[in-house]
Amino acid sequence: MDGRKRTNIKPGTHVNIVQKQDQRTGELTEGYVQDILTNSPNHPHGIKVRLETGEVGRVQEILPED
Protein backbone atom coordinates (compact mmCIF):
# COMPACT_ATOMS: atom_id res chain seq x y z
CA MET A 1 0.00 0.00 0.00
CA ASP A 2 0.98 3.59 -0.55
CA GLY A 3 2.65 5.39 2.39
CA ARG A 4 1.97 8.77 0.77
CA LYS A 5 -1.79 8.67 1.47
CA ARG A 6 -2.99 9.46 4.99
CA THR A 7 -6.13 7.31 4.57
CA ASN A 8 -3.97 4.15 4.33
CA ILE A 9 -2.38 4.73 7.75
CA LYS A 10 -4.00 4.31 11.16
CA PRO A 11 -2.61 3.87 14.68
CA GLY A 12 -1.39 0.29 14.99
CA THR A 13 -0.46 -0.05 11.29
CA HIS A 14 2.76 -2.05 10.68
CA VAL A 15 5.12 0.15 8.60
CA ASN A 16 8.69 0.83 7.50
CA ILE A 17 9.75 4.45 7.97
CA VAL A 18 12.85 6.44 7.05
CA GLN A 19 14.02 8.74 9.84
CA LYS A 20 15.44 12.20 9.11
CA GLN A 21 19.03 11.16 9.83
CA ASP A 22 18.66 8.08 7.58
CA GLN A 23 17.31 9.86 4.50
CA ARG A 24 20.69 9.83 2.73
CA THR A 25 21.30 6.12 3.32
CA GLY A 26 17.66 5.09 2.95
CA GLU A 27 17.87 2.89 6.06
CA LEU A 28 14.39 1.80 7.12
CA THR A 29 13.02 1.38 10.63
CA GLU A 30 10.20 -1.09 11.19
CA GLY A 31 7.46 -0.54 13.73
CA TYR A 32 3.84 0.16 14.56
CA VAL A 33 2.24 3.61 14.18
CA GLN A 34 1.34 5.42 17.40
CA ASP A 35 0.52 8.90 16.04
CA ILE A 36 0.07 10.41 12.57
CA LEU A 37 1.90 13.75 12.45
CA THR A 38 1.07 14.90 8.88
CA ASN A 39 -2.25 16.75 8.61
CA SER A 40 -2.57 16.87 4.81
CA PRO A 41 -4.28 13.93 3.01
CA ASN A 42 -1.19 13.29 0.82
CA HIS A 43 2.55 13.94 1.03
CA PRO A 44 5.02 13.25 -1.80
CA HIS A 45 7.76 11.95 0.56
CA GLY A 46 5.46 9.89 2.80
CA ILE A 47 3.18 10.60 5.73
CA LYS A 48 5.12 11.52 8.88
CA VAL A 49 4.34 9.27 11.85
CA ARG A 50 5.56 8.50 15.37
CA LEU A 51 6.11 4.81 16.08
CA GLU A 52 5.22 3.15 19.40
CA THR A 53 8.98 3.21 20.17
CA GLY A 54 8.99 7.03 19.87
CA GLU A 55 10.90 7.19 16.57
CA VAL A 56 9.62 9.71 14.01
CA GLY A 57 9.88 9.37 10.25
CA ARG A 58 8.07 9.20 6.94
CA VAL A 59 6.26 6.03 5.88
CA GLN A 60 8.04 4.32 2.98
CA GLU A 61 5.96 1.16 2.93
CA ILE A 62 3.00 -0.35 4.69
CA LEU A 63 3.67 -3.94 5.69
CA PRO A 64 1.05 -6.69 5.58
CA GLU A 65 -0.51 -7.65 8.90
CA ASP A 66 0.44 -11.09 10.21
The region of weakest confidence among 34-38, 42-46, 62-66 is 62-66
Answer whether 53's CB lies under 8 Å from 31's CB: yes
Rounded CA separation 66/22 (Å): 27
Question: Binning pLDDT at 50, 70 and 90, where does residue 2 land?
Answer: confident
pTM for the structure as a whole: 0.93
**First and final CA of the chain: distance in angstroms?**
15
Q: What is the DSSP pairing of strand 28-36 with strand 48-51?
A: antiparallel
Taking only the tens place, the pLDDT of each residue in 48-60 is 999 999 999 999 9
